[in-house]
Amino acid sequence: MIQNPSLAQADSLSVDASQLKDTTKQVSRPKSKIELIYADRGLGEHKLPNVNIFVGNVHFVHNGMNLFCDSILFNRISNTIEAFDNVRMEQGDTLFIYGDYLHYDGEIELARLRDNIRMENISTTLTTDSLNFDRIQDLGYYFNGGTLKDTINLLVSDWGEYSPSTKVAKFKKEVHLTNDQMELFSDTLIYNTDNTIATILGPSEILSAANKILSTKGFYNTSKEQAELLNRSQIYTEGKILTGDSLYYDRLLGIGEAFQNIEMTDTINKNLLTGNYCYYDERLQNAFATDRAVAIDYSQGDSLYIHGDTLRLNTYDLNTDSVFREVRVYDKVRIFRDDLQGVCDTLIYNSKDSCITLLNDPVVWNGTQQLLGEKISLFMNDSTIDRAHIEKQALAVEQKDSLHYNQISGNEIEAFFQKGQIHQIDVSGNVIVGFYPEEKDLTLLGLIRAETSFMTLYIANMQMQKMKMFPQSNGVLYPFTQIPADQLYLDNFVWLEYLRPKSKEDIFNWVDKKAEHKLKKSTPELEKPKIDPRSIKR
pLDDT at 274: 93
CA gap 366, 457 in Å, rounded: 16
Please, what is the Cα angle at 160 between 177 and 85, to 5 degrees?
110
* Element of type H or E holding 18: helix 14-19
pLDDT at 156: 97
Q: What is the dihedral of CA 203, 204, 205, 206, to 10 degrees?
A: -160
Per-residue pLDDT reduced to its tens digit, 187-216 = 999 999 999 999 999 999 999 988 899 999
Q: What is the largest CA-CA distance in the chain?
A: 131
Say if CB 298 and CB 307 are below 8 A apart.
no
Per-residue pLDDT reduced to its tens digit, 450-501 = 999 999 988 877 677 788 888 888 889 999 889 999 999 999 999 999 999 9
Give bridge partners of residue 333 from the DSSP assignment. 344
Give average pLDDT by consecutive 10-residue segment, the chain, 538 residues: 38 32 52 90 79 93 94 93 96 94 95 96 95 95 95 96 95 95 95 96 93 95 95 91 94 93 89 92 90 88 90 89 89 92 93 89 91 92 83 92 92 88 89 87 87 89 78 88 92 94 95 88 61 46
Q: Which of 216, 211, 224 is nearest to 183 (CA)?
A: 211
CA-based torsion, 175, 178, 183, 184: positive or negative: negative
DSSP for 485-529, written as a single string:
GGGSS-TT----GGGS--SSSGGG---PPPGGGS---SSPPPPPP
CA gap 272, 504 in Å, rounded: 14
Q: Return all residues near 357 (Cβ < 8 A) that are at least 6 apart.
A: 347, 348, 349, 350, 375, 376, 377, 378
pLDDT at 386: 87
CA gap 111, 90 in Å, rounded: 12
Eight-class DSSP state of 14: H
CA gap 66, 60 in Å, rounded: 6
pLDDT at 49: 79
Q: Return all residues near 251 (Cβ < 8 A) that are at least 6 apart.
A: 181, 182, 208, 210, 211, 225, 226, 227
Q: What is the dihedral of CA 374, 380, 386, 390, to 10 degrees?
A: -10
Give bridge partners of residue 274 from the DSSP assignment. 263, 294
Say if CB 179 and CB 155 are below 8 A apart.
no
- Percent of the chain whose pLDDT exceeds 70: 90
Does the predicted TM-score (pTM) go above 0.95? no
pLDDT at 21: 38
Say if CB 322 and CB 332 are below 8 A apart.
no
pLDDT at 443: 84
pLDDT at 519: 83
Give bridge partners of residue 96 from the DSSP assignment. 90, 120
Q: Which of 182, 96, 195 is nearest to 151 (CA)?
A: 195
CA gap 391, 410 in Å, rounded: 9
Please report, for the chain, how many H helices and E strands are present, in that order: 2, 35
Give domain limits for the chain. 1-144, 146-224, 384-498
pLDDT at 350: 86
CA gap 483, 436 in Å, rounded: 11
CA gap 505, 452 in Å, rounded: 42
CA gap 69, 45 in Å, rounded: 18
- Correct CATH for 1-144 of 2.60.450.10, 1.10.287.130, 3.40.109.10, 3.90.480.20: 2.60.450.10
Give bridge partners of residue 144 from the DSSP assignment. none
| CA separation, residue 90 to residues 29, 388, 466 (Å) | 19, 81, 100
How large is the C-alpha radius of gyration of the chain?
39
Q: Which of 313, 314, 365 is nearest to 338 (CA)?
A: 365
